[in-house]
């Protein structure tokens, strides 16, 4: 092979490796994809989303919510926040919209199915929103961003299906930052015995025969299975917990 050909191959390989390395080490970079919106839906999200958030999942973040396909990650992606912006400069704003994943779903090569409210908020103006909504599906760019809930602590919502003291199911609300909840422990507060809970669906954690007395729920937060941190609430779940009630943990994780 001639020297110039060798040099050309080397340069091309170097550029390729640099591009590959940048794509793998740039968590703040945008990824290109497509997004749709819920057909025939109300302006905000659905109360029956796969994450198990219920009414909270339709109204959180002002209704700027979304179903996700691969980013759902078997429920691990529930509650994650993403900046999503469409790419048509005639209609779309540079800022786009920040959404919260509350459901699972896929459309025509889409990563997100947004609420109609969130879909419209990608536009520059109200008139521009009226133009992109009928399209149904648009090209987008997205990246993960920190969730922000001012004046809110991580909150435990006891599922209506719970039956004290035989069965406990709950979801976790208002987790800030960009970390995932990868594991949850339920601990007795008297003898400090803890056990790992099961993620049964979406963001719902369950256990049979929960311990008696006040309960402490510990959460393992991590980024890409690294930088793991156990978060210990200030407030415990009271002994007489009730199905449907919410309990403020007294803490917030901003990382």
**What is the C-alpha to C-alpha distance for residues 32 and 84, in angstroms, rounded to an integer?**
10
Gap between the Cα atoms of 63 and 85, Å rounded: 17
Sign of the CA dihedral 80, 102, 159, 209? negative
Lowest mean pLDDT of 4-13, 121-130, 162-171, 192-201, name the range: 4-13
> So what's the pLDDT on residue 5?
52
226 neighbors 185 (Cβ within 8 angstroms): no
pLDDT tens, position by position, 68-120: 999 999 999 999 999 999 999 999 999 999 999 999 999 889 999 999 999 99
Name the average pLDDT for the chain: 89
3-state secondary structure of 62: helix
- By C-alpha distance, which of 89, 100, 33 is closest to 64? 100
Tens of pLDDT, residue by residue over 20-72, are 444 445 878 999 999 999 876 668 889 999 999 999 999 999 999 999 999 99
Domains located in the chain, CATH noted: 31-144 (2.40.40.10), 155-248 (2.60.40.760)
The whole model's pTM is what? 0.88
């Amino acid at each position: 092979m001639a020297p110039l050909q060798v040099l050309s191959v080397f340069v091309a390989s170097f550029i390729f490796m640099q591009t590959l390395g940048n794509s793998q080490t740039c968590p703040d970079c945008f990824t290109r994809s497509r997004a749709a919106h819920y057909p025939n839906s109300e302006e905000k999200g659905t109360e029956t989303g796969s994450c198990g958030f219920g009414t909270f999942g339709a109204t959180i973040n002002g209704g700027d919510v979304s179903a996700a396909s691969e980013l759902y990650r078997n429920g691990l992606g529930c509650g994650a926040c993403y900046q999503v912006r469409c790419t048509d400069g005639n209609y779309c704003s540079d800022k786009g919209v920040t959404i919260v994943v509350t459901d699972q779903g896929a459309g025509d090569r889409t990563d997100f199915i947004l609420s109609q409210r969130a879909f419209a908020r990608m536009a520059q103006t109200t008139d521009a929103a009226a133009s992109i909504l009928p399209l149904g599906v648009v090209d987008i760019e997205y990246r993960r961003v920190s969730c922000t809930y001012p004046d809110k602590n991580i909150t435990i919502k006891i599922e209506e299906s719970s039956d004290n003291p035989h069965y406990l199911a709950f979801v976790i609300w208002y987790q800030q930052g960009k970390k995932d909840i990868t594991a949850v422990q339920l601990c007795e507060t008297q003898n400090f015995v803890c056990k790992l809970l099961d993620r049964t669906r979406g963001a719902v954690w369950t256990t049979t025969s929960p311990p008696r007395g006040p309960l402490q729920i510990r959460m393992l937060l991590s980024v890409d299975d690294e930088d793991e941190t156990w978060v210990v609430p200030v407030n415990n779940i009271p002994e007489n917990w009730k199905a449907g009630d919410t309990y403020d943990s007294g803490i917030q994780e901003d990382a």
